[in-house]
């Protein structure tokens, strides 16, 4: 299951008139921890912005699913309610889920939500849908992660050490004689 973190970032942005203004944007990051979310938002913001920026807040989001589409200017947040049965108590239980949908307008967001939720076998009710404050979403892509590599100098030094070792025994007249290690 994905864990989404909402990161609030403050930075200078050039508006359509060419003027710089301070903005606070919210970004959604798929991460495994707060530390991972902070690392990933710093990487993303270095690519997006040119100047300084400040990560003001990071919090765990209640978003359970993202429905991205190729075209769409805004992110809409939808709340759906599912009715499940609690097997232990034998009672119905209402569960809310929050879904983020990319669309140009509210009606389109609702249509895309219904299309994206076609796989659901349990009946659900859309209880709310509204324009979200999320500026962009950064899902996790395994190919983007960098695995730490040992430094070449360390590997070369280790190989050279192994090559310089002297044998502990020498063959002389078919007998093995121990060689005393040299003192350094």
> How many whole angstroms separate alpha carbon 153 and alpha carbon 165?
19
Low-confidence stretches of the chain (pLDDT < 50) are: none
> How many whole angstroms separate alpha carbon 100 and alpha carbon 139?
12
pLDDT tens digits for 93-113? 889 999 999 999 999 999 999
51 and 21 in contact (C-beta within 8 Å)?
A: no
What local confidence, expressed as pLDDT, does residue 162 receive? 57
76 and 129 in contact (C-beta within 8 Å)?
A: yes
Element (H, E) at 134: strand 134-138
What local confidence, expressed as pLDDT, does residue 90 receive? 80
Task: Sketch the domain layout of the chain as residue ranges.
Answer: 1-61, 62-161
φ, ψ (nearest 5 deg) of residue 47: -80, -30
pLDDT tens digits for 108-119? 999 999 999 998
Domain topology for 1-61: Ubiquitin-like (UB roll) (3.10.20)
Does the reported pTM lie above 0.75? Answer: no
């Amino acid at each position: 299951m994905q864990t989404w973190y909402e990161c609030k970032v403050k930075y200078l942005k050039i508006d359509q008139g060419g003027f710089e203004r301070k903005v606070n944007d919210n970004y959604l990051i798929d991460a495994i921890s707060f530390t991972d979310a902070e690392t990933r938002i710093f990487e993303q913001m270095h690519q997006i912005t040119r100047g300084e920026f400040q990560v003001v807040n990071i919090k765990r989001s209640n978003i359970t699913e993202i429905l991205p589409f190729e075209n769409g200017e805004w992110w809409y947040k939808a709340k759906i309610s599912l009715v499940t049965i609690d097997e232990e108590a034998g009672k119905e239980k209402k569960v809310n889920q929050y879904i983020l949908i990319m669309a140009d307008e509210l009606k389109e967001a609702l249509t895309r939500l219904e299309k994206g939720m076609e796989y659901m076998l349990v009946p659900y009710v859309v209880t709310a849908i509204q324009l979200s404050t999320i500026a962009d979403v950064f899902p996790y892509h395994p190919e983007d992660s960098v695995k730490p590599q040992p430094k070449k100098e360390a590997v070369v030094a280790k190989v050279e050490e192994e090559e310089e070792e002297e044998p502990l025994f020498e063959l002389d007249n078919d007998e093995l004689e121990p060689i005393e290690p040299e003192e350094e």
